[in-house]
Structure 1
Amino acid sequence: MTETDDAARHAAKMARIKAARDRMMEGKTDRKGLVIVHDGKGKGKSSSGFGMILRCIAHGMPCAVVQFIKGAWDTGERRILTEHFGDLCQFHAMGEGFTWETQDRARDIAMAEAGWEKARELIRDPEIRMVLLDEINIALRYDYLDVDEVVRFLLEEKPEMTHVVLTGRNAKPELIELADLVTEMTMVKHPFRDGIKAQKGVEF
């Protein structure tokens, strides 16, 4: 068989694949704001969410971040978004640290409720195309927020074209059921097990 024959067979195969893909795409739409959940014990939940925020910025799409729980951290993503992209991305750090650091459940609940109030305001804004609710799953896990209220709001009040991304491990089943896209980050290895703490540029 000649090189020309190989090329022709490959072209014919790719043409069949393209035709099948085109048929599959005929019934699809991009006219829907998604509810996206990043769950799991592995690293990358927030990082993926911030990656999507940067994509929005690159396309000139107004977006916003509400950071629950770890909002007191001086993170790289917070710096770059507030210092360089504040015209397109609002950033609201509403937490004071992980629960074992604050040791004040009533204050944690108050901060989570304030974060959720700000989140609702941002999601309702028809100009904002994506809202990242970073670590909200942690607030829901500890019942700082009512998951039924969050689900109801996303079902009934989220504008049709607004994307909402919710991150944090142990996402509630109700939230997973509601979501359009759920990704579970699986941990295979982590340096913390070898005595290495979180580092700038990797974890924050």
Structure 2
Amino acid sequence: MTELDKAQKHQQRQQKLKEKVDERIANATDDKGLLLVITGNGKGKSTSGFGMVTRSVGHGLKAAVCQFIKGTWECGERNLLEGHGVPFYVMKTGFTWETQNKETDIAAAELVWQEAKKLLTDETINTVMLDELTYMLTYRYLDIDEVLETLANRPSGQHVIVTGRACHRRLIEMADTVSEIQSIKHAFDNGIKVQKGIDW
């Protein structure tokens, strides 16, 4: 086979691929707010969610963030996004193995959830990130039925990003897009401390 033959075959394959992609794009006509879930045991779930929040802000859309579990460490994304008008509602209790107090954790989760519910009825907010919400459902700090009902009844054009490990199956079923991040290797497992600007 000559180089010209190889080039022509490559062009033909790419043309067929383009036709399939173009067809899928043409058939995607629904326009709605998306419910996205980023789950799994790997690193980068919140980071991915913050990437979408940043993308929204970059397009001139209004975004807001509710953070469950985290809150005692400085957050690089919060440092950046608050300066661009993104409000944050944070539990500020840290990880559950640090607090070791279920009652205060539930109370803190409920306070942030009340703020989340306001955002999830506000048509002026285009994107809402519910960071680490999955833990609140796993630990039963928040009522799954109430959470799902609130998500189902949000403004039709509003996007919601949910992050965290072990996402509840009912939330996965409800979501439009679900991504699972798996851990292959993590520096921390080899005794390397968490890095500013990379891990937080």
Normalising by structure 2, we get a TM-score of: 0.92
- 2:32 maps to what in 1? 32
> Are the counterparts in 1 of residues 120 and 150 from structure 2 also a CA contact under 8 Å?
no
Letter in 2 for 1:58: G
Separation (CA, whole Å) in 2 of partners of 1:30 and 1:44: 29
Aligned match of 2:23: 23
Post-superposition CA distance 1:138-172 (Å, at most 9, x none): 121111101121112112x1111111111111111
Partner of 2:87: 90
Deviates more, 1:9-18 or 1:107-116: 9-18
Answer whether contact 2:120 2:128 (CA < 8 A) is retained: yes
Matched residue, 1:143 = 140
Count of residues in correspondence between the two structures: 200
2:158 to 157, 162, 175: 162
Q: Which amino acid in structure 2 is aligned with residue 108 of structure 1? A: D
The residue aligned with 1:42 is 42
Q: State which of 149, 153, 156 in structure 2 corresponds to 1:152.
A: 149
2:53·2:129 contact (CA, 8 Å) conserved in 1? yes
Aligned-partner SS, 2:130: strand
Task: Indicate the SS of the match to 1:26.
Answer: helix
Query: Can you give the 5+ residue segments of structure 1 that lack an aligned partner in the other structure?
Result: none
AA aligned opposite 1:178 = M
Instruction: Measure the CA separation in 1 of the matches of 2:192 and 2:23.
Output: 50
From 109, 116, 133, the equivalent of 1:112 is 109
In 1, Cα distance between the equivalents of 2:17 and 2:199? 40
Match of 1:127 among 102, 111, 124: 124
Identical amino acids, percent of aligned pairs? 47
Structure 2: how far apart are the matches of 1:29 and 1:120? 29
Q: Deviation per CA, 1:99-144, whole angstroms, max 9, x where unpaired?
A: 1211221111011111111111112111111100011111211111
- Once residues 24 and 69 of structure 2 are traced to their aligned partners in structure 1, the CA distance between those partners, rounded to angstroms, is 42
Structure 1: how far apart are the matches of 2:199 and 2:5? Answer: 51
CA contact (8 A) 2:68 2:109 kept: yes
Distance 1:144 1:176, change over 3 A: same
Instruction: Report the Cα distance in structure 2 between the residues aligned to 1:8 and 1:203, rounded to whole angstroms.
Output: 46
Shift of 1:25: 2.3
- CA offset at residue 26 of structure 1? 2.2
Q: Take 2:101 and 2:2, find their aligned partners in 1: how far apart are those partners?
A: 74
Tell me the SS of whatever aligns to 1:183.
strand
What is the Cα deviation at residue 183 of structure 1?
A: 1.1
* Cα distance between partner residues in 2 of 1:193 and 1:7: 47
What do residues 17-41 of structure 1 show as CA deviations (whole Å, max 9, x unaligned)? 2222222222213511111111111
Aligned position for 1:188: 184
